[in-house]
Amino acid sequence: MNEAEGGVPLVEAIRFWKRHHRPNGGTRTVSDLYQEFLKSKISANPRQRTIEDIRHRIGRFAKDFGDRGVHEITSWELEDWLDTMAAQGVTRSNYIQHFRGFFNYALGKTLIEHNPAASIQKPLKDEAMPTFMPVGDVRKVLRASEESHFKTAVTLAVAFFAGFRTAELDQLKWSDIDFEKRIIRVRPEVAKKRRSRGFRFRFDMPNFG
């Protein structure tokens, strides 16, 4: 019997089934599973930025859906929530990626039978061509920073000429710079892929000790 004939709408029927169906692993609220998921991620020793991202994205989701059973969450609810959050472009893609990780964790615990985030389409985007700051502008930035805060000028010089990531620059130590051999080393615990790498520089860099 369809809706027009007085039956229950398909969406409502599915929601009823999701509320009353009990997965093999039992039931867990989104809030409880979020705390467990977060602890498991922290114990895996990831980048601090990864943990902050989980707290921000999945934590925000858990705040709104905390009392719901994980097995009740549907893909269209996730998409509707993202629309409500006005999450677009890269932001939306990042949310979807974290949703997939969260629900894959639930899947591994047999708390759900399929990942509701797996069917959500990530926004398509064109690959952007890299842009370069003109040499004259780089010179102006370095000179201005040298006059106001010389250590900042050194950091900017490494960023401009060594191509270090922001997270790598934030954790760079003076001990990572070999002034005699003119090599800047990225420690494994700092590098994105956890592999040490080095950059040989030719410019003069003051040693603040």
Quote the CA–CA distance of 185 and 176 in Å, as a whole number. Answer: 5
pLDDT at 8: 64
Q: Where in the chain is the domain with CATH 1.10.150?
A: 7-108
pLDDT at 4: 47
Quote the CA–CA distance of 84 and 62 in Å, as a whole number. Answer: 15
Q: Quick one: CA dihedral 99, 100, 102, 106, positive or negative?
A: positive
- The per-residue pLDDT for range 113-152, each reduced to its tens digit, is 899 999 999 987 766 777 778 888 888 888 888 777 777 7
Quick one: CATH architecture of 7-108? Answer: Orthogonal Bundle (1.10)
pLDDT at 107: 94
Q: Using an 8 Å Cβ cutoff, are 160 and 169 in contact?
A: no
Quote the CA–CA distance of 99 and 59 in Å, as a whole number. Answer: 11
Kindly report the backbone phi and psi dihedral angles of residue 197, in degrees, each rounded to the nearest multiple of 5, phi listed first. Answer: -150, 160
Which residues, 6+ apart, have CB-to-CB distance to 99 below 8 Å?
Answer: 58, 61, 78, 116, 117, 120
- DSSP output for 21-36: ---TT---BHHHHHHH
List of the chain residues with pLDDT < 70: 1-8, 14-21, 126-127, 192-193, 202-209
What percentage of the chain has pLDDT greater than the value 70?
A: 85
C-alpha R_g of the chain: 24
- The total of other beta-carbon atoms located within 10 Å of residue 143's CB is 11
Q: Which two tokens stand for residue 165?
A: 């990531």
pTM of the model: 0.62
Q: Which two tokens stand for residue 136?
A: 């004259």
pLDDT at 196: 76
Quote the CA–CA distance of 92 and 82 in Å, as a whole number. Answer: 7
Residue entry with tokens 């990864």: 50
